[in-house]
Structure 1
Amino acid sequence: MSFLIPAVALVGALCVLDLVLTLGVVKRLREHTEMLASNSAVDTYTINVGEQVGEFTASSVDGEEVTHQLRQDDTLVAFFSPTCGPCRDKLPKFVDHVERGGITRDRVLVTVVGDAEESRGFIEQLRPIARVVCERSDGELTAAFKVKAFPTVLKVSPDGAGGAVVTANDVRLDQPAALAA
């Protein structure tokens, strides 16, 4: 019986130590959650809402000239890469979003980032619904929109001065298209 009191005291001390360590972990997790909430992942990997799109001139796969100067309408701009797993998952949703929303082809611009041969499947799926540009990861459009991660879907609007400004940098494809005329 003489060993029972020290054993209970040892178990009690271990429980207090465990409680202190658990509270420290919870405090640290709260700090990290606040840091992540204040640093949106979208802001880290692409252009911010309200930011001016950089200048660019490119040629679509159909030979159309594409520039930073938009018409009078909002434009849906997307970036996909054939080497990106989430891109393969999101591409059919994107096509469906455009078709369901009744968004005309001239109001959709898609950049497929990668080798032309490797990108062929993406291009063929996107060609009927969008102006498609195929470029390398250091291309003009990728730089103009500051895209560092794929897939990226943006909504841009004319700024009144001949350029474009980002109005949404995380377009939800599961919601009705706001671009439909």
Structure 2
Amino acid sequence: MPFLIAAVILVGALCALDLALTLSVIKRLREHTELLAGARQRPRHIEVGTEIGGFDTTTIDGERLLPGMLPEQTLVAFFSPDCEPCRTKLPSFVEHARHHPDGRAGVLAVVIGDTVQSAGFVSELSPVARVVVEERDGALSAAFDTHSYPTILRVERAGDGLVVADNQVRLDQPTSAAA
């Protein structure tokens, strides 16, 4: 009989432990569900008409870059060397940027990553754009609220700042026709 009592107590303790673990897993799943729901609510693209925040950064050529230094209409692109779609889209972007009415001054390319990792992108982009290499959440990424790559935008001057004029730039159309 003592053996039976010990077995019942052991099974009861195991059931209580299992219940406690199950409840903690359910709690964690609810927390993760809330986090994922919040992540899905963030728009994938920055919306047209969104004001761009302020920034103060330096290009790879050592040129200081502030919002007021960009031309009336500027093509802005964010690329990451870790991103396969970025590698695929890079040649068409370079060809599109080559024909920008303001030339190299009217195109801003931001490469997200370290200098060594970004070297290939920088060498392709430098002839057609002012290039900035920065880490994630750098000055330009924060100002443009960019979290996905590639992101290609057309921004224009609005008063003292910049606003997004186009968030789905078609690289197969001439630059001047999209302006």
Greater share of helix residues, 1 or 2? Answer: 2
Post-superposition shift, 1:123? Answer: 0.3
| Structure 1 gap segments, 5+ residues each | 1-40
Post-superposition shift, 1:178? Answer: 2.7
Give the letter for the 1:166 counterpart: V
> CA RMSD of the aligned region, Å?
2.0
- CA distance in 1: counterparts of 2:134 and 2:60, whole angstroms: 10
Post-superposition shift, 1:100? Answer: 3.8
For the residue of structure 2 that corresponds to 1:178, the secondary structure is helix
Post-superposition shift, 1:126? Answer: 0.5
Structure 1 residue corresponding to 2:169, chosen from 168, 171, 175: 171
Maintained 8 Å contact 2:100/2:106: no
- CA distance in 2: counterparts of 1:125 and 1:104, whole angstroms: 15
119 and 149 in structure 1: CA distance in 2 versus 1, 3 angstrom threshold:
same
Identical aligned pairs, as a percentage?
A: 47
The aligned residue for residue 156 of structure 1 is 155
For the residue of structure 2 that corresponds to 1:90, the secondary structure is helix
- CA distance in 2: counterparts of 1:179 and 1:114, whole angstroms: 32
Give the letter for the 1:52 counterpart: E
Maintained 8 Å contact 2:155/2:163: yes
Residue range with higher mean Cα deviation, 51-60 or 91-100 = 91-100
- CA distance in 1: counterparts of 2:129 and 2:91, whole angstroms: 13
The aligned residue for residue 133 of structure 1 is 132
| Structure 2 gap segments, 5+ residues each | 1-39
Say if 2:108 is the partner of 1:109: yes
Maintained 8 Å contact 2:96/2:174: yes
Give the letter for the 2:76 counterpart: V
Maintained 8 Å contact 1:52/1:163: yes
Maintained 8 Å contact 1:70/1:164: no
- CA distance in 2: counterparts of 1:159 and 1:102, whole angstroms: 19
Alignment of structure 1 residues 1-181 onto 2, 5 Å: 44-160=43-159, 162-178=160-176
179 and 59 in structure 1: CA distance in 2 versus 1, 3 angstrom threshold:
farther
Give the letter for the 1:53 counterpart: I
148 and 92 in structure 1: CA distance in 2 versus 1, 3 angstrom threshold:
same
- CA distance in 2: counterparts of 1:118 and 1:179, whole angstroms: 34
The aligned residue for residue 24 of structure 1 is none
TM-score (norm 1): 0.71
TM-score (norm 2): 0.72
54 and 179 in structure 1: CA distance in 2 versus 1, 3 angstrom threshold:
farther
Post-superposition shift, 1:70? Answer: 4.2
- Runs of 4+ with >4 A deviation: none
- CA distance in 2: counterparts of 1:118 and 1:100, whole angstroms: 27
170 and 121 in structure 1: CA distance in 2 versus 1, 3 angstrom threshold:
same
Give the letter for the 1:58 counterpart: T
